Chain A
Amino acid sequence: MAGLDASNTAEMAFDLNVVDRSELVVALSGELDITNVERLQSAVSDALDRSPERLVVDLSRLRFADSSGIALWVQWSTLVDEIELREPSPLLRKVIGSMGLSRTLNVTP
């Protein structure tokens, strides 16, 4: 039954890695969308509170992200000095480009 079934959440896993005091690497896999974006947000917010200078978002194993995921990354970009979105899939790269966010989110390569 729609809306009442908690198992509709998309499968998404993430891995936080504090490289050193000034860099945080977040690796995402699976699919990031409205059903699990809050979980990711609360998991990373503590680490962001420690104000790393640099945030690297590793998207090499992320199959899909919708506008709520992209909005979260944009929000992260306002909390750090430098952000890098590393290796998004071609589809995701195109979407970010069509939203005019390639420069803002520093999509690499």
Chain B
Amino acid sequence: MIESPVSDADAEEPTGIEGDGRVVDPRPAAPGRRRWLFWPAVAVGVVGILVTGALALISATQYNHNEHRLLKLRTDDAGSVLGASVPSIQTVLASAASVADVTNGNVQKFTKFIAPYAGPGKQFSSVSLWKLSSPMSGPLTVIGTSPELSTSMNLAVPFFAQVRNASKVAVIGLLHASQPRLGYGFGTPSAGPYVAYGESLLPADRRTRVKNRSSFSDLNFAIYLGATPRAQNLLVGGGSNLPVTGTHSTVSVPFGNTFLTLVVSARGSLAGALPRDLPWIVAIAGLLLSLGAAALTSRLIDRRAHAERLAGSLERIAKENRRLYSEQRSIAQTLQHALLPDKLPTVRGVETSARYAAGVEGVDIGGDWYDLIAMDDQRLLLVVGDVSGRGLRAAATMASLRYAIHAYAAQNDPPATILTKLSKLVSVGSSGQLATILCALVDVDAHRLTVTSAGHLPPLLLSNGSGTYVQSEVGVPIGVSTSATYTSIDVSTPPSATLLAFTDGLVERRGESLDTGLARLRDAATGNHAELDDLLDDLIGQLRHDGAEDDTAIAGLRWLD
């Protein structure tokens, strides 16, 4: 069974990533055993072999069937050929007998007539004239060699009896003589007194040589006198040893008053070499194809398993990447959280709150921050800032600015002085960084604000259902110039006022005017009478759209009058 390459991976599962970043297959095929014997491949091979076997078997069966058929046809053909020789024999003898009849047994006339047909190398080895009524007297005349029949009166008498009654030539086999021969006897149709008797010699060894390219050269045959192939009646045979063995076909053809039986078998393949060899060709080719198909199938399966393992590796790698990514993001968030104040100071007479929302894309830590510093038991410094860029460099700059502000606040420096001093700490020329900072000094009992901005958006002052932005003269961001100076604006605050300072992530949207965003914030804030914490959460929820890329920091302070 193919092993599933993608199993449930736990944390220790090798991811397939080498130290130098190469991807390797972390689960190579089982060592020591070359896995090529997959069961589908075996099935393919077996099916192929079975089909091949069936085809070869069909092919062989067809071939044999065909051979039988062809043999029968050839045999019947050969039989016809044999049978066709009878009329010529019959005609000659009948005519000779008629001549004798008509000439009243004139020997010379008979001899003259029959001479072309009798003698060595002619149709008959001998022809003789006999008186039908007295066979015992022997032939009246003989042309050619002496007939064997004349020496076998015991055979002659019954033979001539047959001749007497026959309308066809009577045939007798004289096969036991030293020179075997066939005898043919024919009287006249009108049953005259004379019989013309001819003999043909058969090969002494009963074998005939068939010419090489004649139509019978691919056959073994045996010709028997009579209706059945009895060995003692063998006239002549050709081809291989007699009797004819193996698959054979038999035909009996009428031959005078008897039959010739022809038994034929094939020497080699009648249909040819290719049909004979075809079953083997099919078997071997099919076997090779089946093995090839099985090998190919197993290779494909192997490859696919390999591909699946790699896919599994890639999946694990992707999973690992996702894990690393979210790990880094959570590290960023932890760090961000660590750099922001974890506890806001409490000052009598006001409540404070702050929120930080990270941008959705960020794996990097952002540069936004908020701070609330208690100067003494009546005064608070509210700070919101935004360092340009992202990552550790922005975070480091942000941290040093934050702590510097703490130091200057501890010295009781007013906001404008703090920002002026901060300008000397950062230089955009060398660091490429700018920081916008909003610094507001809150005198709680006096209900007064002193607001200074270094390139930063103004804070929003809410009271009684209305809101205004506290717009001071905006100085350049920190880092633009080491000799920058800043001015403040002093503002009185009504009772129960709320001050909100924020970074541009809360109000800025790509393609939209800044004024639109500021108006939106004011509308949302003035209509919201929730607790300060909830107000901040609501504003962040409402004003930041899903997928906002920028960070946002917001800090709030509310008089508890």
**Which A residues lie at the B interface, using CB under 8 A?**
1-4, 8, 31, 34, 41, 63-64, 66-68, 70-72, 74-75, 78-79, 90-91, 94-95, 98-101, 104
Most buried by B among A67, A71, A90: A67
Q: Which residues of A contact B433 (CB under 8 A)?
A: 71
- Complex CA gap A11/B501 in Å reads 33
Q: A71-B428, A101-B480 are in contact. Are A34 and B389 (CB under 8 A)?
A: yes
Given contacts A94-B514, A104-B480, contact A72 B325 (CB under 8 A): no
Chain B residues numbered 286-311 whose CB sits less than 8 Å from any CB in chain A: none
Cα A2 to Cα B547 in complex, Å, equals: 11
CA distance A101 to B434 in the complex (A): 11
Given A1-B325, A71-B432, A94-B513, 14 additional A-B pairs, CB 8 A:
A2-B325, A4-B321, A31-B510, A67-B504, A70-B388, A72-B432, A74-B434, A75-B428, A75-B429, A94-B514, A98-B455, A99-B436, A99-B456, A100-B476
Given contacts A75-B428, A95-B514, contact A3 B361 (CB under 8 A): yes
Grouping DSSP codes into helix (H, G, I), strand (E, B) and loop, the A interface class, with mixed when no group exceeds half, is helix
Contact with A along B73-112 (1 / 0, CB 8 A): 0000000000000000000000000000000000000000
Q: Interface digits, B311-343 against A, CB 8 Å rule (1 contact, 0 not)? A: 000000000011001001100000000000000
A91 with B513: CB separation less than 8 A: yes
The list of the 3 closest CB pairs from A to B, nearest first, reads: A100-B474, A78-B429, A71-B388
Q: Is B272's CB within 8 Å of the partner chain A? A: no
Cα separation A75 to B38 with both chains bound (whole Å): 68
Question: Would you list 21 pairs from A and B whose C-beta atoms are within 8 A, ordered by A residue?
Answer: A1-B322, A1-B325, A2-B361, A3-B325, A3-B329, A63-B511, A67-B388, A67-B436, A71-B428, A71-B433, A74-B480, A75-B428, A91-B513, A98-B474, A98-B514, A100-B455, A100-B474, A100-B475, A101-B455, A101-B476, A101-B477
Question: What residues of A have a CB within 8 angstroms of the CB of B427 in the complex?
Answer: 78
**Which residues from 352 to 380 on chain B have a C-beta closer than 8 Å to any C-beta of chain A?**
360-361, 363
Residues on A with C-beta less than 8 A from B455 are 98-101
Q: Find out whether the CB atom of B453 lies under 8 angstroms from the CB atom of A67.
A: no
CB of A3 within 8 A of CB of B363, answer yes
Q: Which residues of B contact A (CB under 8 A)?
A: 321-322, 325, 328-329, 360-361, 363, 386, 388-390, 427-429, 432-434, 436, 453-457, 474-477, 479-481, 504, 508, 510-515, 550
Closest to B328 in A: A3
| B457: min CB distance to chain A, Å | 6
In the complex, chain B residues whose CB is within 8 Å of the CB of A95: 508, 514
Residues of A near B504 (CB, < 8 A) are 67
Is B434 a contact of A71 with CB atoms below 8 Å?
yes
Which chain B positions have C-beta within 8 A of A94?
A: 513-515
Chain B residues, Cβ within 8 Å of A104: 476, 480-481
Q: How far is the CA of A66 from the CA of B549 in the complex (A)?
A: 11
**B456 proximity list for chain A (CB < 8 A):** 99
Which applies to chain B's interface (DSSP): helix, strand, loop or mixed? loop
Q: How far is the CA of A79 from the CA of B323 in the complex (A)?
A: 43
The answer to whether B428 touches A74, judged by C-beta atoms less than 8 angstroms apart, is yes
User: Whole-angstrom distance between the alpha carbons of A104 and B360 in the complex?
Assistant: 32
CA distance A6 to B155 in the complex (A): 119
Q: Which of B427, B480, B481 has the most CB of A within 10 A?
A: B480
Using Cβ atoms and an 8 Å threshold, which residues of chain B touch A74? 428, 434, 477, 479-480
- The distance from the CB of B324 to the nearest CB of chain A, in whole angstroms, is 9
Identify the closest chain A residue to B432 (Cβ). Answer: A75
Q: Which A residues are CB-close (under 8 A) to B389? A: 34, 68, 71
User: Within 8 Å CB of A101, what residues of B?
Assistant: 455, 476-477, 480
**Minimal beta-carbon separation of B420 from chain A (angstroms):** 14
Is the Cβ of A91 less than 8 Å from the Cβ of B514? yes
Contact with A67, one of B386, B480, B515 (Cβ below 8 angstroms): B386
Pick the residue among B360, B434, B511, B514 that contacts A70 (CB under 8 A): B434
Question: With the chains together, A75 CA to B428 CA distance in Å?
Answer: 5
Report the bound CA distance from A104 to B454 in whole Å: 13
- A34 CB → nearest B CB, Å: 6
Residues A90 and B429 in contact, CB atoms below 8 Å apart: no
A61 vs B268: C-alpha distance in the bound complex, in angstroms?
96
A91, B512: Cβ atoms closer than 8 Å:
yes
Query: How close is A92's CB to chain B, nearest CB, in angstroms?
Result: 10
Taking CB atoms, residues of chain B closer than 8 Å to A98 are 455, 457, 474, 514
A42 to B368, CA, bound (A): 26
Q: How far is the CB of A5 from chain B (nearest CB, A)?
A: 10
Give the docked Cα–Cα distance between A100 and B432 (Å): 18
- Complex: how many Å from CA A39 to CA B389? 14
Whole-angstrom CA separation of A72 from B41 in the bound complex? 66
The docked-state distance in angstroms from the alpha carbon of A27 to that of B512 is 23
Shortest beta-carbon distance, A86 to chain B, in Å? 20
When chains A and B are docked, how far (Å) is the Cα of A59 from the Cα of B488? 32
Query: Is B480 a contact of A91 with CB atoms below 8 Å?
Result: no
B434 with A67: CB separation less than 8 A: yes
CB-defined contacts of A4 to chain B, threshold 8 Å: 321, 325
Q: Report the minimal beta-carbon distance from A96 to chain B, rounded to whole angstroms.
A: 10
Measured CA separation A2–B512 after assembly (Å):
25
- CB contacts (< 8 Å) of B428 on chain A: these are 71, 74-75, 78
**With A67-B388, A71-B389, A101-B476 as given contacts, are A1 and B432 in contact (CB-CB < 8 Å)?**
no
Q: Residue on B with the closest CB to A67? A: B388
Instruction: Verify B477–A100 contact, CB threshold 8 A.
Output: yes
How many Å lie between the Cα of A1 and that of B429 in the bound state? 35
* Contacts A1-B325, A100-B453; A91 near B429 (Cβ below 8 A): no
Q: Which residue of A lies closest to B476 (CB)?
A: A100
Q: Name the distance in Å between A100's Cβ and chain B's nearest Cβ.
A: 4
- B-chain residues with CB within 8 Å of residue A91 when the two chains form the complex: 511-514
Residues of A contacting B457 with CB < 8 Å?
98
Query: Chain B CB within 10 Å — which of A68, A95, A98 has the most?
Result: A98
Question: Inside 8 A of A34's CB, which chain B residues have their CB?
Answer: 389-390
In the complex, A60 Cα to B512 Cα: how many Å? Answer: 17
Query: With A and B bound together, what is the CA distance between A3 and B510 in angstroms?
Result: 20
